[in-house]
Structure 1
Amino acid sequence: MRQVRTVRAAVSAPLAIGLGVALAGCSALSSGDQGASGESDDAGAITKLSIVVPADPGGGWDQTGRAMQAGLEAEDLAASVSVSNVGGAGGTVGLANIAASNDPNTLLVMGLVMVGAVETNQAQARIEDTTPIARLTEEQEVIVVPADSPYETIGDLVDDVVARGKAVTVTGGSAGGTDHILAALVLKAAGVTPEAVGDTLNYVAYSGGGESLAALLGNNVDAGVSGISEYAEQVNAGALRALAVSGAERDALLPDVPTLIESGYDVELTNWRGVVAPGSVDDAQRDRLIELVTGLAQSPSWRGTLEEKGWADAFLAGDEFDTYLAGNITEIQGVLKDIGLVK
């Protein structure tokens, strides 16, 4: 997507005007001349970095941003790292602000959820308006229900959704994101036609995993879909029951939970997360950010975080991530059309 760099600069001004009022309080993303304000040392290394999480606290993006902050500071890769939350619309509010920013020392946490949300929300700002830096992690999804739910297996839940439709509520992250896509794919695998998915699935979208978890624990919804790291603690504590995971094999964090494929549903989906920079950064600024994130990805601190969180290492940087991201956007556009979430 480097070939669209001239387009990125062109869309920044109108986006800044349109979003200025709504996002005026998000100082970490202001689009002034912050890149020249002493945030790099004499050798060009980044000393002050802003990480923007485009969701409310508690979810996978928030965990990623704060794990990055801890790792960068622990490894002395950056003297000062701040994290700010700018939630809304599947991350597309934060995306629009990054696309309009002139700060070369800002990273936006993003991933597959945002790829889908851009399409379903018909967002004005697109991921193509940013500068890809690196893909970091990959994680399985898990489908859960409250501990006292009548659903003992994923088949129990799916059969009831097919039978009763919107009377059964399923929660997860933003509309069009990984959680929503997985729920729709499972229904399709159960025989629901793409045209009927929208009329069958009652999907309650939240901007962060913390909110969907609260809805589950409060028995306000019947089931939930999220990354394993967001629900595993409550599953292991007995507050939630895990019905299935979405990868090719069982996950080490929930080793007793079967895969969807094991359970008879031909569905495999994993959620990746990464970071992008403003579309305005030049090649030298891009290279500094790639070097910084590569140093983090290779550090002992980050390796420990991957093991603790149960995240798979999916590191790709620079041009490789650029190419991957372009292909993933095209792929998800097709999936969303195939399952009836976009036309």
Structure 2
Amino acid sequence: MGHGMAPARRMKRRAALAVGLLPLSARAQGSWPTRPIRLVVPFAPGGTTDVVGRIVAERLGARLGQPVVVENRAGAGATLGAQQVARAEPDGYALVVSSSTSHGVSPALYPNIPYDALRDFTHIAMIARSPSVLLVNPSSPVRTLADFAAAARAAGEIRFAVAGIGTSSHLAGVRLAGALGVRTESIPYRGAGPALTDLIGGVVPAMLDSLPSAGPHVRAGALRALAVSGAERAGGFPDLPTLREGGLDVVSYAWFGISGPAGLPAPITDRLSREIRAVLTDPATRARLEELGGAPPDTTPESYTAFVRDELASFAPLVRAAGLQPQ
């Protein structure tokens, strides 16, 4: 009986030796995750990026069996937080909420950006997108998008407040002016809050802002919304036309996704992709994202990477044409 078991024991020892020869990272992938995952949000708490990141982090952590801990690292057009993850170990324990700012506008805006938005990241999934909304004060004689277009063409320009130079809403305004064939005069603020306050107070005539921050003011009647910049009407504001419906070929979104460092192992990337897809198809999560302006299309790592590549290509000439400079 002893002699009969020897071959089996030898096979087990060989298998154990083979596992021992594997790199530690390869062995760890099978049980990943075994500790909390850090999700860097490259903006201050309270903004749209932070809100979206926390919605997904809570639900993703529940599915992975480990907490996904949000860490806010704001600064330099979202490049500080993105850089931190680009330099992290590709072990699945450091992720970033990539966005139209950190992986779209900032690479074109900052000449010495410390990362390559494609080469230095593994892009996993888009998690949300939010159109901008064109806003005026309720006392304005401009009541419709057609009114706005006529007034802008008569003046030869549009003047609008922006939440920051190079934000997605700012570039939506640049695109809108181009579609109208007029100049732009943007009035920069340090955030959407102060800009909205001045718009409500009648200090500035118009603004483009993301739906999550502007929506409550529109519902309260403090601001008049004229149109949204999405390809379709926004779920939370079905009566608002799109800019395209008004004859202006402008489609613009702020978008958000989950990315990791370059070289993230395929098993971890695939697991994250599957779990994020499950989170986003949950009816309660999808309804919450719709409130913020729109849930994303179903994305894969390949399609999200291609999307980021296309956005980089579209933002670069727009930033140059607008003559934007980092603040």
Taking structure 2 as the reference length, what is the TM-score of the superposition?
A: 0.76
Alignment partner of 1:120 is 2:103: no
| Corresponding residue of 2:57 | 69
One-letter amino acid matched to 1:189 = A
Counterpart among 278, 285, 294 of residue 311 in structure 1: 294
**1:68 offset after TM fit, Å?**
0.8
Q: Distance in 1 between matches of 2:41 and 2:201?
A: 26
Q: Distance in 2 between matches of 1:224 and 1:78?
A: 43
Q: Distance in 2 between matches of 1:46 and 1:224?
A: 46
One-letter amino acid matched to 1:304 = A
When structure 1 is superposed on structure 2, of 223-232 and 152-161 the one drifting more is 152-161
**1:340 offset after TM fit, Å?**
5.1
One-letter amino acid matched to 2:82 = L
When structure 1 is superposed on structure 2, of 181-190 and 268-277 the one drifting more is 268-277
Give the SS at the match of 1:323.
helix
| Corresponding residue of 2:223 | 240
Equivalent residues of 1:105, 1:289 under 8 A apart: no
Taking structure 1 as the reference length, what is the TM-score of the superposition?
A: 0.73
What are the superposed Cα offsets for residues 15-36 of structure 1, whole Å, 9 maximum, x if unpaired?
Answer: xxxxxxxxxxxxxxxxxxxxx9
Distance 1:94 1:147, change over 3 A: farther
One-letter amino acid matched to 2:59 = G
Q: Distance in 2 between matches of 1:279 and 1:214?
A: 41
Aligned ranges for residues 1-343 of structure 1 at < 5 Å? 43-45=31-33, 47-73=35-61, 75-102=62-89, 104-114=92-102, 115-122=104-111, 123-128=113-118, 129-154=120-145, 157=148, 159=151, 163=155, 168-172=159-163, 174-192=164-182, 197=183, 200-206=184-190, 209-210=192-193, 212-217=195-200, 219=202, 221-279=204-262, 281-337=264-320, 341=324
**1:248 offset after TM fit, Å?**
3.4
Q: Over aligned residues, Cα RMSD in angstroms? A: 3.2
Distance 1:113 1:154, change over 3 A: farther
Equivalent residues of 1:120, 1:175 under 8 A apart: no
Q: Distance in 2 between matches of 1:265 and 1:243?
A: 13
**1:267 offset after TM fit, Å?**
1.9
Equivalent residues of 1:77, 1:296 under 8 A apart: no
One-letter amino acid matched to 1:232 = G
One-letter amino acid matched to 2:130 = E
Give the SS at the match of 2:236.
coil
Q: Distance in 2 between matches of 1:290 and 1:248?
A: 25
One-letter amino acid matched to 1:136 = I
**1:301 offset after TM fit, Å?**
4.0
Equivalent residues of 2:161, 2:195 under 8 A apart: no
Q: Distance in 1 between matches of 2:199 and 2:77?
A: 20
| Corresponding residue of 2:19 | none
When structure 1 is superposed on structure 2, of 94-103 and 58-67 the one drifting more is 94-103
Equivalent residues of 2:131, 2:211 under 8 A apart: yes
Same amino acid, percent of matched pairs: 29
**1:56 offset after TM fit, Å?**
2.1
- Structure 2 residues not aligned, in runs of 5+: 1-23
Q: Distance in 2 between matches of 1:308 and 1:46?
A: 34
Aligned pair count reads 294
Equivalent residues of 1:112, 1:271 under 8 A apart: yes
- Structure 1 residues not aligned, in runs of 5+: 1-35
Distance 1:272 1:100, change over 3 A: same
Q: Distance in 1 between matches of 2:229 and 2:293?
A: 14
| Corresponding residue of 1:18 | none
**1:108 offset after TM fit, Å?**
1.2
One-letter amino acid matched to 2:181 = G
Give the SS at the match of 1:313.
coil
Equivalent residues of 2:57, 2:70 under 8 A apart: yes
What are the superposed Cα offsets for residues 170-206 of structure 1, whole Å, 9 maximum, x if unpaired?
Answer: 223x4323212110111111213xxxx5xx4224154
One-letter amino acid matched to 1:329 = L
What are the superposed Cα offsets for residues 56-99 of structure 1, whole Å, 9 maximum, x if unpaired?
Answer: 233221121111123235x4434322222222233122212222
Distance 1:317 1:190, change over 3 A: same
Distance 1:148 1:297, change over 3 A: same
